[in-house]
Amino acid sequence: MNAATGSRAGRARRAFAVIVLAAASAACLAQSAPSLPSYRARADDVSVSGISSGAYMAIQFGTAFSAQVTGVGATAGGPYYCAATDASKDFNLRRVIRRCMQGDPAYGKDPITNDWMQKLYTATQNFAAAGKIDKLDNLKRQKIWLFHGYNDGIVKQPVMDRLYEYYSHYVPPQQIFYKSGLNAGHAQISASCASQSGACNTCPTTGGNFINQCQDRPAALGTYDAVGAMLQHIYGALHPPAAPGGQIVAFRQDEFTRSNRGHDYPGLISMSDTGYAYVPAHCSTNAGCRVHIAFHGCMQSADALDDFFYRNAGYNEWADQNAIIVLYPQTTAKLPSVVTPLNPMGCWDWWGYNDLFDSEGRYATKAGLQVAAVKAMLDRLTQGGPAAPAAAPLPAFGTPAGFAAADANHTQIALRWQGVTGAAGYILQRSTQPGGPYATAISTTATQWVDRGLQAGQTYYYILQAKAADGTRSAPSAELSRATGPAPPPCDPYFSLAANRPVTRNNLPTSATCD
């Protein structure tokens, strides 16, 4: 061995020793956080949501465990398994960014073609057939809520449109609501942090803490509550939000992480030592609460923002009033080493950075290292919890109560109501004039409906009836009206990942946004 070779070997040994010592130190620090308790929550009615890489992760988790997950919310994400093995097998992350994000001019843009969508459907079916994800029939019962702002230059609109198409392949379209008419940048949209106090960004902003406050459209509707809209689309009408009175619980994530090297140190799979959960006071002493898993985006972990995301993203106010435990699993940013993946922005693994040399796309399945870790956290929260509770008795057959327009986009209106005993279905009628005539009749057995294909800026009027098996109908409801929002303006935003700022299509700095 020559001197140069010996010197390199010595440096490598010293570098490895530093990594091992850092891992041991981090493991000791993790010991200071308590273990995650079991709150005996319900395991049968779990929901998930996320922003950006967190949206991709929510989609992966909801697809892998569709037998347990009843609803998914995704802000600025793309179709399940969009990256396939392009990065993990072919080492081509550039191709993944071009296809599954499309917003950085330095990388260019490749459309998600129909052929690629067929590959994603085939992969999904093959994963299910092999037992790597739950059976696809479970997806039919999921409620899907999607959000994309037209100032988002990181994950572009065509990517999100393909996500809508992907879900429409498996989920009845009337269960998918897609909000795409607000002037939001790439961000978690929160009604609980006030932009005027500097706590969160104005709606068109992309950057900073990536948490924005937006006005709904029409503006008379006020501040848009994305989390409230999402949770009520999934669960139905909930109690209104209030100031959180529960507790943020920090817990050891290293108890739930595992790597393909057999270690428990969470940094090996780019997860933090500590995770967090919001536990309403009711749930700390009573079994049977629901669980919602909220996945932050890149550069939004507690390592980057301290407590800002898990306190200000908009979940806790709704959770507190509706007996929902919110789990906030955490990533950590990692530069590559002999034992850690390349993840400098602390993103969730939606392209396979934990699966190098693995051609099977494990990251998107139940065996995915991060997916499995979060599932273990969920299992702890629900350990000893009750079986599915008996359904609450429905009101006697008659006009359904609680008929409301939950949300609207420029082409959709989301409607919901309460069921009644003896109803074989419900008849929803629509008109463009108050009082009718009601030219469109929709028959459904569900207690919600996303009315689609509507005109922008148009007011629609609805009445609802319950229908018995013998054809008997209840008296119609009072007429309900809701206007669709305006169509979004033409907008073509871009964002430089390297410079971490909005740019033009020619990769020049810009502060311009679409109104």
- Is residue 78 situated within a structural domain? yes
pLDDT of residue 266: 78
287 plus 428 within the same structural domain:
no
78 vs 9, higher pLDDT: 78
Percentage of the chain modeled with pLDDT above 90: 82
pLDDT of residue 268: 84
CA 368 vs CA 61, 132, 258: distances in Å: 9, 10, 10
Helix or strand (DSSP H, E) at 26: helix 3-31
380 plus 249 within the same structural domain:
yes
- Is residue 505 situated within a structural domain? no
pLDDT of residue 340: 76
433 plus 347 within the same structural domain:
no
Where a domain ends, among 356, 387, 418?
A: 387
- Is residue 6 situated within a structural domain? no
pLDDT of residue 200: 87
- Is residue 24 situated within a structural domain? no
Residue type, 116: W
In tens, the pLDDT along 190-239 reads: 999 865 566 889 999 999 999 999 999 988 899 999 999 999 999 999 99
Residue 5, SS3?
A: helix
Q: Is 80 exceeded by the pLDDT of residue 21?
A: no
- Is residue 244 situated within a structural domain? yes
Residue 461, SS3?
A: strand
pLDDT of residue 465: 97
Please enumerate in sequence order all residues whose Cβ is within 8 A of that of 67, keeping only pairs 6 or more positions apart, or say none: 134, 135, 138
98 plus 227 within the same structural domain:
yes
- Is residue 321 situated within a structural domain? yes
Percentage of the chain modeled with pLDDT above 70: 90
Tokens of 198: 């500097």
Residue 395 CA to residue 420 CA, distance in Å, equals: 5
- Is residue 11 situated within a structural domain? no
Residue 224 CA to residue 244 CA, distance in Å, equals: 19
Annotated active-site positions, please? 52, 152, 186
Residue 424: CATH number of its domain: 2.60.40.10
321 plus 424 within the same structural domain:
no
Domain range holding 465? 404-483
Residue 145 CA to residue 450 CA, distance in Å, equals: 11
370 plus 416 within the same structural domain:
no
In tens, the pLDDT along 350-404 reads: 999 998 766 689 999 999 999 999 999 999 999 999 987 777 889 999 999 999 9
Q: Is 70 exceeded by the pLDDT of residue 260?
A: no
199 plus 306 within the same structural domain:
yes
Give me the residues paired with residue 176 across strands: 144
How many structural domains is the chain composed of? 2
Residue 225 CA to residue 105 CA, distance in Å, equals: 32
239 plus 154 within the same structural domain:
yes
428 plus 372 within the same structural domain:
no
Q: What is the mean pLDDT of residues 482-506?
A: 96
In tens, the pLDDT along 437-475 reads: 998 899 999 999 999 999 999 999 999 999 999 999 999
265 plus 117 within the same structural domain:
yes
pTM of the model: 0.92
Please enumerate in sequence order all residues whose Cβ is within 8 A of that of 55, keeping only pairs 6 or more positions apart, or say none: 49, 74, 75, 76, 77, 78, 155, 295, 297
441 plus 350 within the same structural domain:
no
pLDDT of residue 264: 58
Residue 192, SS3?
A: coil
Residue 452 CA to residue 496 CA, distance in Å, equals: 34
- Is residue 1 situated within a structural domain? no
In tens, the pLDDT along 290-325 reads: 999 999 999 999 999 999 999 999 999 999 999 999
105 plus 215 within the same structural domain:
yes
